[in-house]
């Protein structure tokens, strides 16, 4: 299944706020009606919605998410927490959390167009896994710095998670440590996602 490129409001009306997909929030009646709907959902539907929420927020294909679930299952520690850590330490997500891009698709475009340096080297792979003490900067070319500075200036100054440090003057970010689960940028029950995949295999 390919990456979703359809209307964002359609997804956030169904699944709730997905800050990685879009920074807008619908306020129409249809959205409020869906949010207040009290019909009974099946256990499968609940798990599917949590999985879809994770997938659309981080902008992953079905195959990519399944790969991350398998990697998390083989790692030490709770599978759900390891899965969220893997997703949060992706380069496109780090750029989004630093405010260098308005959304994760916007961050992916910056990386694909070779505007981003990690430890002084160009990285053009959005799924690149950042590690503690990695330094993320814009390329020295004027266009790269302007794109990132515009995003930093226009984004609301929200509190950064503890694992990141930002120097907005030099358009520079630093990864301090592996993210703690309480700083994940999405309200989600990761155990339901793990359960969804465990029942598929």
Domain range summary for the chain, segments of one domain joined by + = 8-86+185-200, 90-178
Are 54 and 90 in contact by the 8 Å Cβ rule? The answer is no
Region 164-181 average pLDDT: 87
- CATH of 8-86+185-200, picked from 1.10.1050.10, 3.40.50.1370, 1.10.645.10, 3.30.70.360, is 1.10.1050.10
Find the radius of gyration of the CA atoms of the chain: 17
**pLDDT value, residue 186:** 80
d(CA 89, CA 143): 26
- The contacts of residue 145 (CB under 8 Å, 6+ apart) are 138, 139, 171
Write down the CATH number for the domain with range 90-178. Answer: 3.10.290.10
- In this prediction, residue 23 has a pLDDT band, given cuts at 50, 70 and 90, of low
Which range, of 12-26, 31-45, 94-108, 170-184, averages the lowest pLDDT?
A: 31-45
**pLDDT value, residue 150:** 81
């Amino acid at each position: 299944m390919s990456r979703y490129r359809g209307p964002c409001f359609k997804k956030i009306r169904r699944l709730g706020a997905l800050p990685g997909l879009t920074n807008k929030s619908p306020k129409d009646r249809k959205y409020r009606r869906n949010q207040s709907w009290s019909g009974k959902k099946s256990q499968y539907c609940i798990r599917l919605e949590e999985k879809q929420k994770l997938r659309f927020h981080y902008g992953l294909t079905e195959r990519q998410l399944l790969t991350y679930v398998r990697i998390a299952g083989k790692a030490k520690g709770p599978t759900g927490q390891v899965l969220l850590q893997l997703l949060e330490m992706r380069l496109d997500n780090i750029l989004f959390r630093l405010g260098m891009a308005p959304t994760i698709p916007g961050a992916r475009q910056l990386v694909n167009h070779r505007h981003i340096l990690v430890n002084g080297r160009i990285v053009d792979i959005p799924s690149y896994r950042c590690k503690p003490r990695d330094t993320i900067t814009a390329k020295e070319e004027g266009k790269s710095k302007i794109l990132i500075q515009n995003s930093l200036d226009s984004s609301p100054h929200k509190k950064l998670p503890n694992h990141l440090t930002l120097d907005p003057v030099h358009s520079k970010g630093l990864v301090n440590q592996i993210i703690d689960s309480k700083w994940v940028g999405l309200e989600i029950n990761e155990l339901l996602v793990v359960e969804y995949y465990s029942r598929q295999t």
